[in-house]
Each structure stands twice: as C-alpha cells, then as structure tokens.
A and B are shown apart, each in its own frame.
Chain A
Amino acid sequence: MKILVGVKRVIDYNVQVRVRPDETDVDLSNTKMAMNPFCEIAVEEAVRLKEQGIASEIVVVSVGPKVVQEQLRLAMALGADRAIQVETEDAVDSLAVAEVFAELVAQEQPGLVLLGKQSIDSDNNQTGQMLAGMAGLGQATFASAINFKEGCIQVTREVDGGLQTLELTLPAVVTTDLRLNEPRHARLPDIMKSKKKPIDVRPLGDFNVTAQNYLKVLKVQAPAQRQAGEMVASVAELVDKLKNQAGVIA
C-alpha cells in the first residue's frame, strides 16, 4: 500500500515569533525553520508502517518555494521513498493545499493519506478534513493509534471527552496528534543517501486550484502582553492575596 504524507516547513517550535513593526505580517527573516512537529509524527508513522510491511511506498509532498526541499530531504532521510514539491512563491491557505492533495490522491491512488493535525504557524487544523471532504474519503483526526485490519483501519482519536475509536474504509485521511508516536532523528548516513532520492518539482499552476481568495489578512499584531505580577513569600500570603486583593476565592 502506498502512503501519501504531507510535510510543511514552519518556524521552529522553540522560536518565539516576531511581528513586523508595520503590522502587515510576522517577520520570519533569519528565523530558524523546521518541519512542522505534527508532520514529523505523520512521517514517523508512515515509516513504521513500512517497517511493519504494511506500507510499500511512502510519498512525501510539500507545497511551497524551493527551500521546502530541505524538509522533503529530511523526510526521505527518515524513510520516505520519493518526494513531490508543488512549487509556489506565494502563500497558500489550507483550502488550496487541500485541493492540491485531492488532485495528488487522484493521481497517486494512495491507500492512506497521513497529515499533521495542524501546523504550528497558522494553527488552522483544517487541511486533512478539507481534503477528506473534497475527495469523498473518511477522516480520522487527532489520531493517537492506528491499527490495520482487513481492508480497513481502526483509529483511536483524542477527543475532548476522552478517546474515541473509529473504523474507516480505505483509502482514508488520518491526521496525527502528539501521542501517536515519538519521531526518530535522522542518521547521518541516511541524510547522505536521501540526496539520491528523487524530488519531483511541479509548478502549482499545473494543479487545478479553484479556490478563490476570499480571505484577506488586514493586520497582524503582537498580542497584549501580560505584566508579571508579584512573588509571594508563603502560602498564607498567597491565600490572603487571592482572597483580599484579587477576590477570586471566598
């Protein structure tokens, strides 16, 4: 079975983002970039499925400028077989990315699509569900366990009230949550070998993206900063302040 995996290049999760002084956008110049952590989990899960003999081929896809090849190379060092870069210099929203993936699903005919549940830049949590809707596939978001059965999968989802397990006919779209696995690090020899694996670069214009630009970002601002308060010396002082100063406990 072939697995299609999405990979997004985002700000490194340890880096605090800066807002541009003119409030038009965030400032990512000279910022450390990395693979979105949830995409790392998706790549790891695909590699484990290949190690178990369930997956036969892993195709990783990223939509973006040439630099996203860094993240595609990393995914191939971790175990993906080949990569597709859908090239564009423009910012693309989750709807456009979902349309690209829907077309790739039709071309590549994967048995499973694995995506991160959200990217830590736009924090949308949309692409997998949009893709599943467009492609007429079942979806299991917030996955913390995937088990293969005959012709279907069972996926455990982390939902607000606890855990939920769904059965899905294949092909299906699964989006990864934090506790699905712990991604491995790439080994140097694998990084060297990944340079020989193929990246198929295709312009975004080759895809039938019909989504109109309905969204316009008018402003991006820094959030209101919270002031640090005071240090208290004892539990008694804390309780006193909470009762008599903040008035939050009786």
Chain B
Amino acid sequence: MSVLVVAEHLGGVLQSGTARVVAAALQMGDGVDVLVAGHNVSEVAEQAASLAGVRAVVVVDQPNLASQLAESVCEVVLTLVDSYSHLLAAASTFGKNLLPRVAGIKRLPQLSDVIEVISADTFKRPIYAGGAIATVQNTAPLKIITVRTSAFGAVGQAAAAAYSGVSVDVNNSLTSLVSETQADAAGPELGSARVVVSGGRGMGSKENFALIESLAGRLNAAVGASRAAVDAGYAANDLQVGQTGKIVAPELYVAVGISGAIQHLAGMKESRVIVAINQDEDAPIFKIADYGLKMDLFEALPQLESALS
C-alpha cells in the first residue's frame, strides 16, 4: 500500500491541512509520498519533507504550474499516480476541484470528505449534511479520496524525507488565471484555529460584524460566519462555516446571532466546546451548545470582551 498526497500550498507556504491529510494517509498505507506541484516551491517541498511519516516528496516546479489550475495539476498527477494504491488530498476547494477530475479521467470513483479510516479500503463519510454517516468500501485499484482535515490531527515534524524533482509536460490550454483576490489573513486560519468566533444574521450589518472580529482578536480566534451572514454581505464568502462552506472542529466555537440551521451545524458540530449567544431562546443552536446565553448580542459581546481582557 502506498499513498500519494497532493500538497496544498499558497504563497510559498504549505497549508496546515496537508499535515492532517498525511495523518489520514498513514492509516491507509506506510509508504506515504507527498506531491508538491507549483512554481518556486522549494520551501514548500522542505516543509512537506519534514512532516513525520512522509517517505518521499516529489517536486514538480515549473512556471506553467504557477496558478495550480486543476487541469494542469491533474496532468501532473496522472503521470505519477499509477504506482500508488491511494491518492489523497484535503477536502478543500483545491482538493475537491482536482481529485474528481483525476477520477473522471481514470474512470474510477472518488470518496469525498472522509472522516474516519476503518481499514485501507473502508472509510466513513458524512452524507445529508452530516445527518447520516455512511461506511463505504472502495475496492478500486486506485482509491481516490478527499479527507476532511478537521477530523484528523496533524502529524508532527521529523527529520527531512528525501525529495526529488521531476519535470512533467503540461499542455493545459483550456483554462488560464485572470485574477485572484486573497482575503485579509488577520488571525489564525479558519480550518485549523483552536478557537472560532462566528457571527450570523443577528449581527444586522457589516459594520456590526466588526464586533465579531474584535472578540476573535481578543481570543486569538479565527472569524467565521453563517451562510445568512455571508448572503447578506456582512462577511466574505471564505468565512462561511457549514455544509457547503468550511468544516471546522476547534476546541471552542462561539456562535453569535446564529440560529443554527442544519447546514450550519454540519460545519461546526464536531467542535469540542460550543457556546451560543442568541436572543431567541428557541434557536436550534441551543440544542447542541454546551453553554447557551440568551441575551442581546450587542450587550453580550462588549461585556464578554471586557471580561476577557
């Protein structure tokens, strides 16, 4: 059993999810290699090589991979993957974009959002927004899997694994990058933060949403938002927590002015401790919260911030 993990990186930095995907990979096989595809990625390769349990890092560093487009990276993966039994990536927008394309070309199925490894060919994954958990056996010669990173702890650091450079012909003329706008990365990354503070429709406006950012700053927390808050324009799309946004499982999740729709709960109900602050005592969020506070959030937030300072 050998596993190829596609590393995810941005601006020369390995994303924290990759260490968690490696942890999942080590439960499927002991030969875990990491693919780093991109341009000017030598630092990323070094970071990947120092993840504990990694056997080798394969580096494909060329200008035509600079934008990491799915069509281009797919060509790279296809040239490498035949000697592996498993192909893994994080269930992020990068991994979800790339792996099914590989699967379609290979005419093999893909398992999305795996949360538990039962054996090298049997996995658990949530369906129906986490309303049910399916145990699925995959007998394909190559098992293509995206991993829900919040369900696995990251591997630590170890002595650097070997890494080798490979060059691959990439012929993608289907797509090209026009522009990218990165959201301001104040505070920790939402997917791996120890504490997340999220605001919902109850925040009332984009200006009021600053109260969430302020409390998050106090707790060294990442900022999240419900779909309603994003749809209303209070928060950026990449902050959305839920079935179709980010799935998080921090030590502490503070939900402020969030009613608790099924699709939001799907994104945060695995958090260790959940706090809900809401004026509506019937809000479904209270049914899953460890600590509920029925209070006007515009009174509660300043009080909470001063109590923490």
Contact = CB atoms under 8 A, between A and B. Distances in A.
Contacts of B292: 228-232
A106 interface: no
Contacts of B175: 138-140, 166-169, 172
Interface residues on A, range: 35 or more
A162 B181 contact: yes
Q: Considering residues B107, B137, B138, which has the most beta carbons from chain A within 10 angstroms of its beta carbon?
A: B107
A137 B104 contact: no
A117 interface: yes
B293 A238 contact: yes
B92 A123 contact: no
A226 B249 CA distance: 14
B138 A133 contact: no
Interface string B222-253: 00000100110000111000011010000110
B214 to A, nearest CB: 15
B101 A161 contact: no
Contacts of B101: 129-130, 132-133, 139
Contacts of B10: 161
B247 to A, nearest CB: 11
Contact of A138 (B110, B134, B136, B174): B174
Contacts of B135: 217-221
Interface stretch (B45-53, B56-64, B268-276): B268-276
Q: Considering residues A142, A177, A242, which has the most beta carbons from chain B within 10 angstroms of its beta carbon?
A: A242
B109 A93 contact: yes
Interface string B154-188: 00000000000000000001111111111100000
B244 A117 contact: yes
B100 A133 contact: yes
Contact of A166 (B94, B177, B262, B273): B177
Contacts of B127: 26, 121-123, 220
B105 A134 contact: yes
Interface in B241-295: 243-244, 246, 251-252, 262-263, 269, 272-275, 286-295
A100 B263 CA distance: 30
A167 B132 CA distance: 38
Interface string A204-245: 000000111011111111110010111110111011011000
B103 interface: yes
A123 B251 contact: no
A126 B112 CA distance: 8
Contacts of B183: 161-162
A137 B237 contact: no
Interface stretch (A12-20, A56-64, A79-87, A189-197): A12-20
A32 interface: no
Nearest to B184: A162
25 contacts: A94-B100, A95-B109, A126-B110, A129-B70, A133-B102, A142-B93, A160-B238, A162-B180, A164-B179, A167-B177, A169-B175, A172-B174, A178-B244, A215-B136, A216-B137, A218-B122, A220-B134, A221-B135, A230-B292, A231-B293, A234-B293, A235-B293, A236-B307, A242-B273, A242-B291
Interface of B: 10, 69-71, 74, 92-94, 96-105, 107-113, 122, 126-140, 173-183, 191, 195, 219, 227, 230-231, 236-238, 243-244, 246, 251-252, 262-263, 269, 272-275, 286-295, 300, 303-304, 307-308
Given A125-B96, A220-B135, 12 more contacts: A13-B262, A95-B107, A133-B101, A157-B93, A159-B94, A160-B94, A165-B180, A179-B231, A214-B139, A220-B132, A222-B133, A238-B293
